[in-house]
Amino acid sequence: MWFKSKSEIQKTVAELNYKTDQNGIVNRMLRENGAWNLHLENTKQAILQFSEEKKGTCVVLGSGWLLDVPLNELSEQFSKVYLVDIVHPAHSKTKVQKYSNVELIVADITCGLAGFVHSNKINSVAELCEIVEKQFSPTPNEFFSNVLKIDFPDFVVSVNLLNQLDILITEYLIEQYAFKNEELTMLRKSIQAAHLALLPAESSCLITDFYKREYNLQSDEFLQKENLIFANLAYNNAESTWLWNFDSTGTYAENKKIIFEVASFRM
């Protein structure tokens, strides 16, 4: 039920503009001219810290451009490394060629929810939340065997992904159905909870944006702080936290500087 063919995934990528979103990430990093470096290094170090003494098979969910993935170290530590994303940039495809034990997997980490939302009439947010819980919330065993088509791994990393899974879906619902942001909070919670549930206990590392800070671009005045995580995950339980200087140019939010508060968790 959750496995999607290559053609189905390509259709979802095109319909929800995943490539445009992914290209926007690397373009913003380049515009920030080194401001992301601390965040990227902190992410890599958290992954390596949590993977200490692990061996066997490693799965990285949301590998993207590999900016925040310590690929060289993981390939040396694990006998097999799977990099999972709905789109793998050409840069990443080229980079992994020198590693004989690294494999790219193209998969929809929402287990088909993104395509379902685009292809079906959504009558209400409440109904969609029920569908997420009943149809798009596999167990870890089901996710790895039926979605990724691999054996159960020894270590799993969800890297700067949790808050991203619902963004394009909720933006589409706002555009097509004029749902309000407040209505979509429960849906975001359901999507995030489904992702957390597929991370194997005692052998997973989760790194995620947790809060978004907004500042006036001209005066640097603090404007507001927005919660980004709605699932049952406590910021106070994080192993480490840091700030990500995400956008200082006002291109992400007009006339605003954006800083994310990032947290890492041992799951």
Exposure string for 194-208, b = 16+ CB within 10 A, e = fewer: bbbebbbeebbbbbb
Q: Are 239 and 46 in contact (CB under 8 A)?
A: yes
Whether residue 39 lies inside any domain: the answer is yes
Q: What is the pLDDT of residues 8-26, one digit of tens each?
A: 767 776 766 677 777 778 8
Is 250 domain-assigned? Answer: no
Tokens for 162, please give them. Answer: 């949790």
* pTM of the predicted model as reported, rounded to 2 decimal places: 0.92
Q: Which of 87-96, 124-133, 154-163, 177-186 has the lowest mean pLDDT?
A: 177-186
Segment 187-233, tens digit of pLDDT: 999 999 999 999 999 999 999 999 999 999 999 999 999 999 999 99
Q: Is 118 helix (H, G, I), strand (E, B) or coil?
A: helix
Yes or no: say if 83 and 92 are a contact pair by the CB < 8 Å rule.
yes
216 in any annotated domain = no
221: in domain = no
Write down the pLDDT at residue 69.
97
User: What's the CATH number where 151 sits?
Assistant: 3.40.50
Beta strands in the chain (DSSP E): 57-61, 80-85, 102-106, 155-159, 204-216, 222-227, 240-247, 256-266
Cα separation, 61 vs 38, whole angstroms? 21
Share above pLDDT 70 across residues of the chain, in percent, rounded to a whole number = 96
Q: How does residue 80 score in pLDDT terms, banded at 50, 70 and 90?
A: very high
Q: Using CA atoms, how far apart are residues 245 and 138, in angstroms rounded to an integer?
A: 34
189 within domain boundaries: yes
Q: Is residue 111 part of a domain?
A: yes
Residue 139 within a domain: yes
Q: Please provide residue 74's backbone torsions phi and psi, each rounded to the nearest 5 degrees.
A: -65, -40
Count of domains for the chain? 1
CA 154 to chain centre: 20
Asked if 116 contacts 98 with a C-beta cutoff of 8 angstroms, the reply is no
**First CA to last CA distance, the chain:** 26
User: Does residue 236 form part of some domain?
Assistant: no
Q: Indicate the pLDDT class of residue 5, thresholds 50, 70 and 90.
A: low
pLDDT, one tens digit per residue, over 230-242 is: 999 999 999 999 9
**pLDDT for position 260:** 97
CA 16 to chain centre: 15
The answer to whether 157 and 60 have CB atoms below 8 angstroms apart is: yes
Residue 133, domain extent:
6-47+55-208
**What digits encode the pLDDT tens for the residues 19-70?**
777 777 888 888 988 999 999 999 999 999 999 989 999 999 999 999 999 9
Of 52, 89, 42, the residue nearest 73 (C-alpha): 52
Joined tokens for residue 82: 């799977």
| Polymer length in residues for the chain | 267
